[in-house]
Structure 1
Amino acid sequence: MHIPSSFYGLYRDVKPRCRRLVTNLARGESLNDAIGTDDTVDTATQPGMLVLEGPSPLLGGEPHFHCYLLHFQIKKAQFEGRLNADMVEEIFNASLQTEWAVLGLIAYQSAMWFDPPEKWRSTRYQPMLKACLQFWDTFEREGERYSAGSNTSNNLWNLPNTIRYILANMGVSKAVLKAPLPATGLAGVVALALGGDDQSY
């Protein structure tokens, strides 16, 4: 998977890069324009975990992919009044088009993008699930490389994430969400949320 180089490194270096990107977004640039010609880093050739929550003192000494940080900073800027709702909605829609940005929305610190459910269930939940399904094979190929701030890693499904948050708010049971993915994968669990019948449970 290719991730913008701005997100790779030590947290203390990645955070100001993400803040600069948010400043560009606040000036009216699109997500793609803000990222611009930023080089990407191939996760297959660089060490480090795919970090979905932070900052964490456990991860301070080595470079990692801080996948959650830009989308966290975007929401922070919205709360502070530096980005308006229309800008954030445009960023959300653009984020669904690329693997790295969808992963940023999957990070549990991005749950604020989908809360409260009564506001976003009808507009953001299904597009987000569709994007997750589109890129899920890529995310799974990373294996047990994801971190929620710990110095031990796990696979993406087993960590707190917004996919399970969304599915829970769509009526999927806790038992299903706490279990390993079935043979039908994420698609089988999403089918339950959309009213399908997955027989693997």
Structure 2
Amino acid sequence: MSIIFLPRSINAVWPRLSLTVTSMLIPSSFYGRYKAVLTRSRASLRHLARGGQWNEAIGAEHAVDTANCPGLIVLHGPSRLLGDSSHFHCYVHLQQILDALSDGGLPAAVQPEIFHRSLQTAWGVLGLLSQPNVMWLHPKERHEPFLKACLQYWDVLLQEGERYSNGSTTGQGLWAMHTNLKYVLANSGFSIELLNAPLPAGGLADLLRRGGFDFSGASYEPAPDRS
């Protein structure tokens, strides 16, 4: 596993990087066996509880290239089928934060900042796509910035091919998965038949336009969160 060290100002530079590479850079703390990733996520909670920042808490500057690491990109779990091998568990850190928020282990004030930081990276969007993390998409005012970020990183995410998993040992393409993207689209009026069909020739952008979301030339920009 090769680790790439990135600058401290990672949120400023990573969006531009992710649009030009043919594989994804993901924090090394997300990669490994589930139990190892879970242990690291709990260490990140302690960092956040002491007032640390999100990117520092997860060690975002220590990135691994998905092209150099075997395994699946896992969005749901834990899965007994995947427990003995290394994968990218992209949902775990955000899931653990939700648990800590619900039991008082973290103050509610950290949630909006982490949500907006997650929208600024491809791997952050993957965490939000995970079904166990659906509460990150409440209130409904978060849906549009989430959709905009999905569109911004969609080509990067698709380049991984049939490597995504909700716990199965067999990978799938991202659009074939049950994710929070389809949850948000269903709640925006898209039919189940449309969401279960292949994407149109114009891809996700075309689908969003059909539903009245035209983000042409737009990218996610942080905005005040009133939640």
Q: TM-score, normalised by structure 2?
A: 0.80
Alignment of 1:78-97 (within 5 A): 78-97=101-120
5+ residue gaps, structure 1: 197-201
Change (3 A) 1:195 1:4: closer
Q: Aligned partners of 2:57 and 2:103: how far apart in 1?
A: 20
Q: Aligned partners of 1:178 and 1:138: how far apart in 2?
A: 22
Structure 1 position 60 matched with structure 2 position 78 = no
Query: In structure 1, which of residues 40, 44, 47 is the aligned counterpart of residue 70 of structure 2?
Result: 47
Q: Please state how far the C-alpha of 1:37 moved relative to its aligned partner.
A: 5.9
Could you tell me which residue of structure 2 aligns to residue 151 of structure 1? 169
Q: Once the two structures are superposed, what CA deviation does each residue of 1:81-113 show, in whole Å capped at 9, x if it has no partner?
A: 122222111110111111111111111111121
Q: Is the 8 A contact 2:41 2:58 kept in 1?
A: no
Structure 1 position 142 matched with structure 2 position 165 = no
Over aligned residue pairs, what C-alpha RMSD do you find? 1.4
SS of equivalent to 1:85:
coil
Q: Aligned partners of 2:137 and 2:54: how far apart in 1?
A: 19
Paired residues, number: 191
Structure 1 position 15 matched with structure 2 position 46 = no
Q: Is the 8 A contact 1:172 1:192 kept in 2?
A: no
Greater shift in the superposed pair: 87-96 or 35-44: 35-44
Q: Aligned partners of 1:137 and 1:110: how far apart in 2?
A: 22
Q: Aligned partners of 1:190 and 1:161: how far apart in 2?
A: 16
Amino acid in the other structure paired with 1:14 = V
Q: TM-score, normalised by structure 1?
A: 0.90
Could you tell me which residue of structure 1 aligns to residue 16 of structure 2? none
Structure 1 position 77 matched with structure 2 position 100 = yes
Structure 1 position 105 matched with structure 2 position 135 = no
5+ residue gaps, structure 2: 1-23, 215-227
SS of equivalent to 1:78:
helix
